Amino acid sequence: MKIAFLIERNTYFRFLGVIIDEALRRGHEVFCLHDYSQPKVGSKGYQFPDIAQTPHFKNGKLVSLSYQNQSELKEKILQKEIKAVVSLEVPAIILNLQKELKEKGVYWVCLQNSFDIAFSGINMDKPDRFFAYTLTWTDWLFEYFKKTGKASREKIDELKKIVGAKVKFVGFWGFGQSNAIDKNEIRRKWGIPQSKKVFLLVPFPFDSSLKHFWARFVYGMDNKFLQLFLNLFNKTNKNRFVLQIKNRENDRQLVGSIREFCDKNNAFLLVKSRVKDPVRKYLAKMADKVLYDESFYPTTIMECLAVSDICLSFYSTVAMESACSGVPHICVAPAKEDWRDLQSPYFETIFEKMGDFFNFPGVSWKLSIPQAIKKLEGASFLDFILNENQLEKYHQKFIGDLSGNYAANVVDEIESL
């Protein structure tokens, strides 16, 4: 079968790579269709889907083609006699092209993109198949639609009817790329001594977070007198911020506690950020190694987790990737009143319907900023031990069954079309 994957950003290989490799292993002819209409400048310009950045796949070679617009995409799909198109989420282009392609015998399937399912899930009845991780995610999605009014009750009922038919639960397929990672080679490449355990830090996303007072001048600064002075001109949460400033509940102090943890426990401090969120100078000095997106498949974050003994991040799907990798996770949880990014129906429904995604003791421990600063100063790895029973429950709720054959499940469904 000829299968094509829509590559709108080079980071899409993080999600699609393992499925591509599985399709190649089965002998399918694979095409990657790169959207060259994407911007090359701006905060996400580095994610331009350059064909030259296509990863190498262990199970064979694929064909890479570029397109500039909808008509060119349609032409190349039909020209190459592609039978199935795979995309992340439900891009607008499918709503325009699918009917014409279906008449030519071309199927279109779409994949959940973690919590971003909230933005494209309203159209998950449009493709021939929509693949989600587990039932928990669609339950959360319907709750989000109900809370926000983004879908009518009738529409929600319609979507619920296709669960199990068009919507298939296949597990978190990104997990499969761990099979392509050589832990010893990663340690050698990054200069991590075999004698050291690894503390992985995914730092606070200052540059991609909304610019507001708390992020910039309370959590993001460590100069008590300047902070108190600036707070005089702040119009909200003044007294709350005064306490945080006086107690030094900020990023520099948290990073210092993590460094202290590493020094006491003979651990290597590995930092993984993104190009759009460059690490701060003090963190770069304290870290043993700073990485950005060095590889899209296997993705750098999964390479990091493959050699890590613990991972700390803020509210992030890294919690799920840590669980997949068998790595205990700490979620540092800023207060909703402070971090404006959390003040939306999107996050409200996450916390209400599936808040234990981040707070699942034995898998992921949720700590406030002051709790994290205090606890890490005197803690050891023994304070965060993975519990196998809890891990199994977490898998079943958020990731999928324990088989791990998630990419194979996706390809099975494509073949069945």
User: Which residues, in sequence order, are CB contacts of 157 under 8 Å at separation 6+?
Assistant: none
Residue 188: count other Cβ atoms within 10 Å of its Cβ: 11
Asked, for residue 364, whether it belongs to a domain, the answer is yes
Question: What's the pLDDT tens digit per position in 343-386?
Answer: 888 999 999 999 899 999 999 999 999 999 999 989 999 999 99
CA–CA dist 226, 105 (Å, integer): 65
Percent pLDDT > 90 in the chain is: 87
Count of Cβ atoms closer than 10 Å to residue 410 Cβ: 25
Segment 308-330 mean pLDDT? 96
pLDDT tens, position by position, 137-159: 999 999 999 999 999 999 999 99
Q: Is residue 178 part of a domain?
A: no
SS3 annotation, 274-318: ECCECCCHHHHHHCCEEECCCCECCEHHHHHHHCCCEEEECCCCH
Coil, helix or strand at residue 31 = strand
- Nearest Cα neighbor of 244 from 270, 215, 267 is 215
User: Per-residue pLDDT tens for 321-347?
Assistant: 999 999 999 999 999 999 988 888 899
Q: Are residues 39 and 76 in the same domain?
A: yes
Domain match, 385 and 408 both: no
Angle at 81 between CA 75 and CA 83, to 5 degrees: 110
For residue 311, the domain's CATH number is 3.40.50.2000
Whether 365 is covered by a domain: the verdict is yes
Say whether both 257 and 342 belong to one domain: yes
Domain that holds residue 238: 183-399
Return the closest-CA partner of residue 29 out of 83, 67, 103, 105.
83
Indicate the pLDDT class of residue 239, thresholds 50, 70 and 90.
very high
Pair (155, 200) in one structural domain:
no
Kindly state whether residues 29 and 146 are assigned to the same domain: yes
How many folded domains does the chain comprise?
A: 2
Please spell the DSSP secondary structure of 8-20, one letter per residue: SSGGGHHHHHHHH
Give Cα separations from 385 to 310, 350, 358, 368 (angstroms): 9, 25, 16, 19
Whether pLDDT at 43 is above 80: no
Please classify residue 81 by burial: count the beta carbons closer than 10 Å to its beta carbon, then call 0-12 exposed, 13-18 middle and 19+ buried: exposed
Q: In terms of DSSP bridges, do strands 107-111 and 129-132 run parallel, antiparallel, or are they unpaired?
A: parallel
What is the secondary structure of 191-250 as a DSSP string?
T--TT-EEEEE----TTTS---HIIIIITT---HHHHHHHHTT--SSHHHHHHHHHTT-S
**Domain assignment of residue 235, yes or no:** yes
Measured distance CA(118)–CA(122) in Å, rounded: 8
pLDDT number for residue 260: 97
Q: What is the pLDDT of residues 46-60, one digit of tens each?
A: 899 999 999 999 999
Residue 177 resides in a domain: no
- In this prediction, residue 174 carries a pLDDT of 85
- The confidence band for 404, taking pLDDT boundaries of 50, 70 and 90, is confident
- What is the share, in percent, of the chain residues with pLDDT greater than 70? 100
Indicate the DSSP class of residue 395: I
Q: Is the pLDDT of residue 74 over 90?
A: yes
Beta strand spans in 68-171 (E): 84-88, 107-111, 129-132, 167-169
Most confident of 179-193, 196-210, 379-393: 379-393
Whether residues 132 and 64 share a domain: the answer is: yes
221/353 same-domain check:
yes
Q: Which pLDDT belongs to residue 344?
A: 87
**What is the number of H-type helices and E-type strands within the chain?**
18, 13
